[in-house]
Structure 1
Amino acid sequence: MRTLDRRRTMLLAAGTIAAGREASGNEIMTENERYTRGLDVLRKIGGADFDGPISRLARISPDMAGFTVTFPYGDILSRPGLDLRTRQICTVSAVMALGSAQPQLRFHMDGLLNAGGTPGDLVELLMLATATLGFPVAINSIGIVREIFAERGIKIDAAEPAGSEPDRFARGLRFIQAELGGDAVRHLSHLRSISPELARWTVEFFYGDVASRRGMDAATKHLAIASMLAAAGNRTDALARHLRAALANGATATHATEAMMQLCVYAGFPTALNAFAALGAALTPASGESFEDKELSLDGLHPEADTLRRRRGLEALAKTSGAVGEAVVNSFDDIAPEIGAMIVDHSYGDIFHRPGIDAKTRELSACAALAAKATKNAETPLRVHINAALNVGASRAEIIEVLLNLLPYVGYPAVQDAMVIAGEEFARR
């Protein structure tokens, strides 16, 4: 028992020393010093109203308000291992992945601009989210970005395209070769053996259309993707792959460590500890297999013309979602029209038109998936796909049964919320 107590005391002391060492040499910082340092970082991120949220929180719980300044800002974000802009990029990425922390997402999107980030950084994070987390995240987040830009009088210019290579598949392969290497090829080869279409879309869309964009340097981009994956949870292989890519493209081990460490603030210690397990794998030397060691063949599936994908996508959109879906697509026009085009071309033109399952089954499965997510991000797409299901022949009773079927898997509160949304959409019909 004495040995266990001694070890516990040593661990607590080590944690306290680590928290205070950054600003005071090897001396342990007082609570007041940590608070003062945290307030300084919070001021840089929060701007003119930096203390507004903390003051409102203090009316409910002064202790929680003090802890929010002392630990996240005084102990973690003040650490010198990562610049504040990159920290905010990783923070926004993680909070986007949480799906239902919109006030905090708004605060940290503003904070990214306050900390030296650019409007283009926010647009690139929306783009990365489409492939890493799914379109619902971008659909929800675009409204927040629009509000921020309007308040600041920001006019966004068109983002730099992914590259001059017109072939999306070739561009994706070029990206894999330059930034990911043999690990990604092995993964795609395995996917190809199960679903050649998924392997091709991964190359074309995730890597060719999204990840290869030039709006953010490679190291920061992969740290952002890693933060999304870590906060989303249960993405260990992909997380290690993008941490490895960050390290291979200019990030240091310290940069990666700091990015994963701050997850304990925004997504909890279990998430951060899992992320460090993936970082340990990323820091392990690779087997030495290079991109050229493996040929990536997709069994005769060839890239399709963008004009075909667009025509097919517009037809599927009109058939299923109609004006409601078109409004979602058009909601990106003023800030990131590429995302609206991707919804048409990829979601509808690549996927939703496919004949493998009938349109009603496809829409009911979309309703189930979005209801099970049970996040703020999923609410608008759930409304779209409830209407789409009705448009292609599903009855209200079938939609209700699909939602009821989720009860054993996601619990009553999630299904209750989804049922309320379904009821509102039924009433509008």
Structure 2
Amino acid sequence: MTNIEEQLENLASPGDMQKHLRGLAVLKQIGGENFGGPVSQLASFSEDLARFTIQFPYGDVLSRDGLDLRTRQILTAATLLAHGSAQSQLSFHLKGLLNAGGTSDDIVDLLFISAGLLGLPTAINAVPLVRDILTDRGEIENVTKTKASPAVSDMSSVGVAILDRFAPEFLKWREHTLHEEIFGAVHLEPRLTHLASAAMLAARGKVGASFDGHIVSALAAGATDRDIVEMVIQLSVYSGFPASLNAAGRAKNVLAASERPQVGTKKRVETTKDDERRFMRGIATLAETSGGSGADVVDSFKDVAPGLGRLIVAHCYGDIFCRPAINPKDRELGAISALAAQGTVAAEKPLGVHIDAALNLGATREEIVETLFNIIPYAGYPLIEKALLIAHDRISLFDDKRVDGSPS
């Protein structure tokens, strides 16, 4: 027994020794060689908190029967991706997914699912973490390039009818981009795909019809009622009891339905993934708005998730950012507003990118500052304080380049 293992064992009191040792055993499976390092450091701050960390997540929840450890790690990673600001914990549990029998494909699949359900900044931010983990393990070349197609639940017929009149492009993108390009790139078993999707949505606070749809899809793909219950219980650890209780209320209604909708194998629309015209339009829009290179964007993902970089160019710039109803500068100010309001670590780098793009398109310091001021009532002062400091740095760099005569 190492000194750290002995230290962690000694945190237990006689009354909770069994649960404590059970938690340590699961923590060791997930954490691997350095399983005790983070908790040992935590104990130097608070032994009580270190003991709770061993006993509640690992001794009470992750050690429960009902889900295997790989599935639990997939759910944990999905929840931490939705958190958006738990990078060190995400890295630990992505490694833990591999230690629990998961694969590099499992990890990349979670990136694609998060891109569709949580937005591209979440997936993009996680790519360097994934790259480091797979490189350290010599698995960077083992990411599978073939695609599978888990069925995705349809919207209600009422919702489809409304959107077909109000925003028909959304329905087209939902079919082509979300169903075909994102979920069509996922290798996870459909049951796990939908359990992970439901966990992401619940953790982000989006417990609604989409959450219900993924519960229905998970059941149709072979998930049991207990699988759903265990997923919701695990949310209490990594997303807190409010998210878990909200999800429990929605899931209970789905499970109690007298007739559960069946989600069969959906016949996919024959489309050309990332068709060249759309991709080239994205390259042109990217160059016009931010001065960026589409090839550079694609290349930055090619070792981990090659389809993700191409998706960014084709969908974000080739489908959406090129649309004429909003002028390019105002579109960038809108992106700044959305990213600042998210306030996550995952949104910080994209916020800087879109501030740069707004400046390149002629936005003034005052316009960017006023855009951020406008969000204070909706996001609160701490988030906008952080966004203003990022804006200050990007505007200062932009001004310095202009003074130096460098291209902006």
Other-structure match for 2:382 = 413
1:191 to 163, 167, 177: 163
CA deviations 1:101-154 (Å, max 9, x no partner) are 111001100100000000111011111111110000111000100111121122
One-letter identity of the residue aligned with 1:367: I
Match of 1:381 in 2: 350
2:120 corresponding residue in structure 1: 135
Taking a change above 3 Å as real, the CA distance of residues 408 and 305 of structure 1, as seen in their structure-2 partners, is closer
The answer on whether the counterparts of 1:185 and 1:291 sit within 8 Å (CA) in structure 2 is no
Shift of 1:349: 0.5
Q: How far off its partner does 1:406 sit?
A: 1.3
Note the 1:15-414 alignment, pairs <5 A.
30-157=15-142, 159-162=144-147, 178=151, 180=153, 187-285=159-257, 306-323=275-292, 327-414=296-383
Give the counterpart letter for 1:89 in structure 2.
I
CA distance in 1, matches of 2:251, 2:157: 20
Q: What is the distance in 1 between the residues matched to 2:344 and 2:152?
A: 32
Q: How far apart are the structure 2 equivalents of 1:311 and 1:318?
A: 11
Deviates more, 1:407-416 or 1:372-381: 407-416
> How much has 1:280 moved relative to structure 2?
1.4
Note closer, same or farther for the CA distance 1:267–1:214 as it changes in structure 2 (3 Å cut): closer
- In the aligned structure 2, how far is the partner of 1:48 from the partner of 1:386? 42
In structure 2, relative to structure 1, the CA distance for the partners of 1:124 and 1:290 (3 Å cut) is closer
Q: Match of 1:206, as an amino acid?
A: L
Distance change (3 Å), C-alpha of 1:100 and 1:207:
same
Given that residues 104 and 142 in structure 2 are in contact (C-alpha distance below 8 angstroms), is that contact kept between their aligned partners in structure 1? Answer: no
Q: Are the aligned partners of 2:104 and 2:143 in contact in 1 as well (CA < 8 Å)?
A: no
Cα distance in 2 for partners of 1:41, 1:346 equals 41
**2 CA distance for matches of 1:325 and 1:375?**
25
Contact 2:181/2:273, CA 8 A, preserved across alignment: no
AA aligned to 1:271 is A
Shift of 1:244: 0.8
Paired-residue identity, %: 44
Answer yes or no: is the 8 Å Cα contact 1:160–1:214 preserved in 2.
no
- 1:287 deviation in Å? 5.7
Contact 1:97 1:231 in 2 (8 A): yes
Please state how far the C-alpha of 1:347 moved relative to its aligned partner: 0.5
SS at match of 1:317: helix
Stretch deviating more after TM superposition (124-133 or 320-329): 320-329
Letter in 1 for 2:325: G
AA of the residue aligned to 1:147: D
In 2: Cα distance, 1:159 partner to 1:254 partner:
31
Q: Cα–Cα, structure 1 residues 338 and 60, in superposed 2: closer, same or farther, change >3 Å?
A: same
Alpha-carbon offset, residue 291 of structure 1: 8.0
- 1:25 corresponds to: none
CA distance in 2, matches of 1:326, 1:406: 34
- Give the Cα–Cα distance (whole angstroms) in 2 for the partners of residues 146 and 291 of structure 1: 35
In 2: Cα distance, 1:76 partner to 1:336 partner = 32
Q: Please, which runs of 5 or more residues in structure 2 have no aligned partner? A: 1-13, 399-408
Query: CA RMSD, aligned part only?
Result: 2.4
TM-score (norm 2): 0.88
Contact between 1:313 and 1:344, CA under 8 Å: does it hold in 2?
yes
Worse-matched range after superposition: 277-286 or 84-93: 277-286
Structure 1: which 5+ runs fail to align? 1-28, 164-170
Kindly tell me: are residues 304 and 32 of structure 1, through their superposed partners in 2, closer, same or farther at Cα, counting changes over 3 Å? closer
Q: Match of 2:404?
A: none
